């Protein structure tokens, strides 16, 4: 069958740039690449508790059977959304099938024609895609730059416009965080500005997210929390007030026009949140983060400053960063290169994800190996 010429040219260009993506394979290397920060995805105990919860509550169906507005709104949705709202100190929680679906649904439907979206230049691709589907105008501000944000806010003010400022509490490609408290103070100066936070890489790493750690819940219009990182399962939720929930149920297309999550998926979310409240994995992870930062400083490695589970070493050039990643993999460490165009040219990097189950010896060994290659 003939393949379209333009598509072939795009693939050929990726090959020439040494940036062609391929699907990963399961391996037995020491894990420094997955988002399973607390080890919940691999937890047999969590798996067994989820199964037992379904048996105990006589929930023995495999799928939701339809969208939530038709036949798919089974009783576990009510249980889980109530639990999420209580644990996250939110008026409501609305579960989406994934973080991508949540961001697409929110940004494609909430900001209206004539409104303004101001977003951090390093914002996640799912938010960018949602913004592209929106009828609102959008402008980016320099990464974590509060002065530039305030300049833009003062420039775009208009009495008929609602303004949405969006950032991440932990950035997925840098592992750093904005000054959320200071951003909140800037935003509160304006009556028509709404603060939106993606907490995908903060949930679990910082208990129930950085917003709650900083006690900023009441300053945030919408929080997006995802379950596929620190909680080791699947799905996402948008946290906000009752009016926002009602609006999304009526207008967020990625919520309306899709089959709901299965009871098993939601039971796993419930049990993961139960585990998060009692597990000591968070403390083990924080100890490993501190050890990683201390050792990388000792070895004078070029890491972006981060207190999260994500730590990135800048190594310019797709070919060079892929070569060093391969050397680490050959030495037993699963470390992945992040290539342009995923990140800007000359900002290619090795991305280290830390976990509660990594040992301090493993952390020291991988960093000492890295020091010999860069």
Q: How far apart are CA 154 and CA 185, in angstroms?
A: 14
What CATH number was assigned to the domain covering residues 18-38+280-373?
A: 3.90.1150.10
CB 294 within 8 A of CB 303: no
| C-alpha torsion sign, points 226, 228, 231, 236 | positive
Structure tokens at 223: 């929080």
User: pLDDT truncated to tens, each residue of the chain (374 aa)?
Assistant: 889 999 999 999 989 888 888 887 888 899 999 999 999 999 999 999 999 999 999 999 999 999 999 999 999 999 999 999 999 999 999 999 999 999 999 999 999 999 999 999 999 999 999 999 999 999 999 999 999 999 999 999 877 899 999 999 999 989 999 999 999 999 999 989 999 999 999 999 999 999 999 999 999 999 999 999 999 999 999 999 999 999 999 999 999 999 999 999 999 999 999 999 999 999 999 999 999 999 999 999 989 999 999 999 999 999 999 999 999 999 999 999 999 888 888 999 999 999 999 999 999 999 999 999 98
Q: How far apart are CA 90 and CA 201, in angstroms?
A: 19
| C-alpha torsion sign, points 240, 187, 99, 53 | negative
Indicate the SS3 state at residue 118: strand
Q: What is the pLDDT of residue 241?
A: 98
* Residue among 193, 168, 200, 170 at smallest CA distance from 115: 193
Q: Which residues pair with 237 in a beta bridge?
A: 95, 225
Q: What is the pLDDT of residue 27?
A: 83
Q: What is the pLDDT of residue 341?
A: 86
CB 30 within 8 A of CB 333: yes
What CATH number was assigned to the domain covering residues 45-277?
A: 3.40.640.10
Q: What is the pLDDT of residue 130?
A: 97
Q: What is the pLDDT of residue 69?
A: 95
This prediction's pTM: 0.94
Q: How far apart are CA 16 and CA 2, in angstroms?
A: 22
**For 60-68, which contacts have Cβ atoms below 8 Å and span 24 or more sequence positions?**
61/262, 61/263, 62/262, 62/264, 63/259, 63/262, 64/259, 64/260, 64/261, 64/262, 64/263, 65/259, 66/259, 66/260, 67/256, 67/257, 67/258, 67/259, 67/260, 68/255, 68/260
Radius of gyration of the chain (CA): 21
How does 87-117 read in b/e, with b if 16+ C-beta sit within 10 Å? bbebebbbbbbbbbbbbbbbbbbbbeeebbb
Residue range 234-274, pLDDT digits in tens? 999 999 999 999 999 999 999 999 999 999 999 999 999 99
Q: What is the pLDDT of residue 159?
A: 77
Q: How far apart are CA 5 and CA 175, in angstroms?
A: 38
CB 186 within 8 A of CB 150: yes
CB 183 within 8 A of CB 195: yes
Let me know the angle formed at the C-alpha of 228 by 345 and 317, rounded to the nearest 5 degrees: 15
**Would you list the domain boundaries of the chain?**
18-38+280-373, 45-277
């Amino acid at each position: 069958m003939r393949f379209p010429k333009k598509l072939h040219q795009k693939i050929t260009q990726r090959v020439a740039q040494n940036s062609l993506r391929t699907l990963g394979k399961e391996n037995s290397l020491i894990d420094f690449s997955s988002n399973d920060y607390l080890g919940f995805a691999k937890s047999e105990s969590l798996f067994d508790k989820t199964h037992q919860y379904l048996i105990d509550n006589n929930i023995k169906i495999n799928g939701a059977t339809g969208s939530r507005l038709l036949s798919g709104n089974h009783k576990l949705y009510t249980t889980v959304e109530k639990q999420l709202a209580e644990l996250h100190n939110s008026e409501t929680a609305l579960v989406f099938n994934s973080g991508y679906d949540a961001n697409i649904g929110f940004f494609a439907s909430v900001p209206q024609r004539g409104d303004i979206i101001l977003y951090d230049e390093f914002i996640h691709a799912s938010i960018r895609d949602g913004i592209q589907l929106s009828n609102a105008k959008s402008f980016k501000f320099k990464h974590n730059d509060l002065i530039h944000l305030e300049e833009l806010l003062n420039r775009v003010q208009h009495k008929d416009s609602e303004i949405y400022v969006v950032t991440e509490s932990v950035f997925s490609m840098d592992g750093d965080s904005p000054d959320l408290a200071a951003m909140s103070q800037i935003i509160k100066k304006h009556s028509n500005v709404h603060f939106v936070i993606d907490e995908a890489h903060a949930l679990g790493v910082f208990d129930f997210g950085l917003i709650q750690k900083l006690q900023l819940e009441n300053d945030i219009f919408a929080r997006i929390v995802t379950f596929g990182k620190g909680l080791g399962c699947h799905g996402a939720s948008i946290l906000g007030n009752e009016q926002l929930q009602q609006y999304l149920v009526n207008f967020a297309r990625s919520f309306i026009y899709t089959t709901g999550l299965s009871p098993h998926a939601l039971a796993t979310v419930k049990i993961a949140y139960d585990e998060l409240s009692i597990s000591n994995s968070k403390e083990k992870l924080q100890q490993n983060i501190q050890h990683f930062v201390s050792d990388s400083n000792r070895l004078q490695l070029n890491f972006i400053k981060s207190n999260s589970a994500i730590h990135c070493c800048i190594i310019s050039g797709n070919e060079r960063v892929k070569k060093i990643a391969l050397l680490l993999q050959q030495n037993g460490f699963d470390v992945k290169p992040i290539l342009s165009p995923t990140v800007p040219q000359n900002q290619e990097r090795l991305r280290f994800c830390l976990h509660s189950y990594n040992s301090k010896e493993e952390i020291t060994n991988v960093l000492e190996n890295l020091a010999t290659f860069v």
